[in-house]
């Protein structure tokens, strides 16, 4: 029996090869793998000794040869294949042990284009696919973690067809992922937004306790790492935690000022900005001091001792922040289960594409990352907002962007006072926001993710809200503006809507 070993990741390869030799396997190898096996006194032949062809093109061509691929693809039960093998003096190869040049790692490390190109493996995927195609006769080994089980199966003569198919499945998964990463690199380089094929690939990270509900199995798969984060403390992060955490981070990074976003079931229950994390947290908490219980908190700044003392007072599932001072960690770590997540590059990563599952496929769009252009804001009412109202309006419109449609945010002084969201009728969202704002509503402003009708204006006027920001664009705009002028209310049209379904 013969095995061809050519690996970039050389973890445990010497031990594996030694076990194969002990089982009377002949070893063929290339380049660096040949060298390390030879240095460890393992009997090994170079590939060029088998092919009669030296490596060429600086090692780009080593294994692409009929005496290699013929030996791999030879069907042992096919008479014509046997005849060809004998005529061409090709010896069978019964095992391929291969993993690939580290294109993905080089990409993560920000290597230049030429380095990336040279780390596109050609011979490796070709051998892997050939062996996986001929899995009935050839064992294809692509994961160092499988070495032990393969040796055990060989020793116990338990290499059955199920075992072979498992290795083949892993092999095809590897090459599909590898090609996907390369494909996506070129598509991003070309800024190809909607290519003919979408080849997103994700790598298993860990199994989760359960999904949205306890009867659903779930796992976390990691894709392109654009926002590396680190868990500093706490128990396992759950399915819902991961989803809520992403929602909170997306909202908090929208703000330039120090901002705290509290999220429950992916929806903000409080957003606050201030001169300190403590001030911002108080504002976010006071928007809805009941819903924040058991919530997810995202903070686009470093948590200090003063803020940590307040955070420690209530039950929180997760606090994800740009960082934590040592004093803050000491306080927060007193709670065993709270997850503390450090996201250093809080404001420095980009989100490009959003996916949703629909019947028979997915729908794809840009992330809603558009910012308010103050030069394009239209004050369409006779009454003008004050300078302070204008600042509150801009803050409120950022908040409403991350709430579920139909959505209303009533805000003042860099704090959400009342959030109404997820309603099928906009006036219901207005009623909900007004009720939650309570007595604090005096002097507050209102933001809407969609345009208004007269009924919503009447509700806000009755509540004492004098300034409103909304997209505009409705056939009822004229009627709404007339109502505002009659009641000395200010309306700003943005020309931008922020629906979030």
Q: Which residues are catalytic?
A: 133, 265
CA–CA gap between residue 175 and residue 126 (Å, rounded): 9
CA–CA gap between residue 57 and residue 60 (Å, rounded): 5
Nearest to 250 by CA among 269, 227, 232: 227
How far is the CA of 339 from the CAs of 157, 315, 319, 380, in angstroms?
47, 11, 6, 47
CA–CA gap between residue 131 and residue 358 (Å, rounded): 37
CA–CA gap between residue 457 and residue 427 (Å, rounded): 9
* In the block, residue with structure tokens 């080089």: 106
CA–CA gap between residue 319 and residue 297 (Å, rounded): 5
Nearest to 241 by CA among 322, 314, 320: 320
- Please, which residues bridge with residue 417 across strands? none
Q: Where are the beta strands (DSSP E) in 326-385?
A: 339-342, 353-358, 361-366, 378-379
Nearest to 388 by CA among 398, 396, 380: 396
Instruction: Give the distance from CA 430 to its chain's centroid.
Output: 34
CA–CA gap between residue 196 and residue 176 (Å, rounded): 17
How far is the CA of 217 from the CAs of 147, 204, 208, 213, 223, in angstroms?
29, 14, 7, 9, 20
How far is the CA of 281 from the CAs of 260, 271, 437, 439, in angstroms?
6, 8, 17, 20
Burial (CB < 10 A; 0-12, 13-18, 19+), residue 270, is: buried
The residues near 97 (Cβ < 8 Å, ≥ 6 apart) are: 3, 4, 5, 6, 7, 13, 16, 141
- Residue pair 409/459 in contact by the 8 Å Cβ criterion: no
CA–CA gap between residue 272 and residue 249 (Å, rounded): 14
The residues near 100 (Cβ < 8 Å, ≥ 6 apart) are: 8, 121, 124, 125, 128, 174, 178
Instruction: Give the distance from CA 331 to its chain's centroid.
Output: 30
> DSSP character for 375?
G
Cβ neighbours, 10 Å, residue 435: 12
Angle at 473 between CA 469 and CA 476, to 5 degrees: 95
Question: Prior bond to 357 cis, omega within 30?
Answer: no
């Amino acid at each position: 029996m013969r095995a061809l070993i050519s690996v970039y990741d050389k973890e445990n390869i010497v031990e594996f090869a030694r076990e194969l030799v002990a089982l009377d396997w002949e070893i063929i190898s290339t380049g660096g793998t040949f060298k390390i096996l030879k240095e460890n006194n393992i009997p090994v032949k170079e590939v060029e000794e088998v092919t009669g062809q030296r490596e060429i093109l600086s090692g780009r061509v080593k294994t692409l040869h009929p005496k290699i691929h013929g030996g791999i693809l030879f069907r042992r039960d096919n008479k014509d294949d046997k005849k060809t093998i004998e005529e061409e003096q090709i010896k069978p190869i019964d095992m391929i042990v291969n993993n690939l040049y580290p294109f993905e790692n080089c990409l993560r490390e920000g290597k230049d284009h030429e380095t990336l190109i040279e780390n596109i493996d050609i011979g490796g995927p070709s051998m892997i696919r050939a062996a996986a195609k001929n899995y009935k006769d050839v064992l294809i080994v692509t994961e160092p973690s499988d070495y032990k089980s393969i040796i055990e199966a060989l020793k116990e003569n338990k290499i059955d067809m199920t075992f072979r198919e498992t290795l083949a499945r892993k092999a095809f998964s590897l090459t599909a992922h590898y090609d996907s990463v390369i494909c996506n690199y070129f598509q991003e380089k070309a800024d190809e937004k909607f290519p003919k094929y979408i080849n997103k690939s994700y790598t298993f990270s860990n199994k989760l306790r359960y999904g949205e509900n306890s009867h659903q199995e779930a796992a976390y798969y990691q894709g392109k790492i654009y926002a590396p984060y680190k868990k500093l403390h706490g128990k396992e992060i759950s399915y819902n935690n991961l989803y809520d955490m992403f929602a909170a981070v997306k909202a908090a990074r929208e703000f330039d000022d120090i901002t705290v976003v509290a999220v429950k079931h992916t929806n903000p229950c409080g957003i606050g900005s201030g001169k300190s994390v403590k001030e911002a947290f108080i504002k976010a908490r006071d928007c809805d001091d009941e819903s924040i219980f058991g919530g997810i908190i995202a903070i686009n700044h470093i948590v200090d001792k003063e803020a940590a003392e307040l955070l420690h007072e209530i039950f929180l599932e997760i606090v994800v922040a740009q960082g934590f001072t040592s004093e803050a960690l000491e306080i927060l770590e007193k709670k065993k289960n709270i997850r503390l997540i450090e996201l250093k590059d809080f404001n420095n990563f980009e989100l490009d594409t959003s996916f949703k599952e629909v019947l028979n496929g997915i729908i794809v769009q840009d992330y809603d990352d558009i910012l308010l252009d103050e030069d394009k804001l239209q004050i369409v009412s006779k009454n003008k907002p004050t300078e302070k109202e204008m600042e509150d309006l801009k803050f409120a419109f950022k908040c409403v962007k991350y709430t579920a449609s139909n959505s209303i945010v009533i805000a003042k002084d860099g704090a959400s006072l009342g959030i109404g969201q997820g309603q099928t009728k906009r006036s219901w969202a207005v009623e909900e926001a007004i009720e939650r704002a309570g007595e604090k509503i005096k002097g507050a402003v209102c933001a809407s993710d969609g345009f208004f009708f007269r009924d919503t204006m009447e509700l806000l006027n009755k509540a004492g809200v004098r300034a409103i920001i909304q997209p505009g664009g409705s056939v009822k705009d004229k009627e709404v503006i007339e109502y505002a002028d009659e009641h000395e209310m200010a309306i700003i049209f943005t020309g931008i809507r922020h629906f979030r379904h």
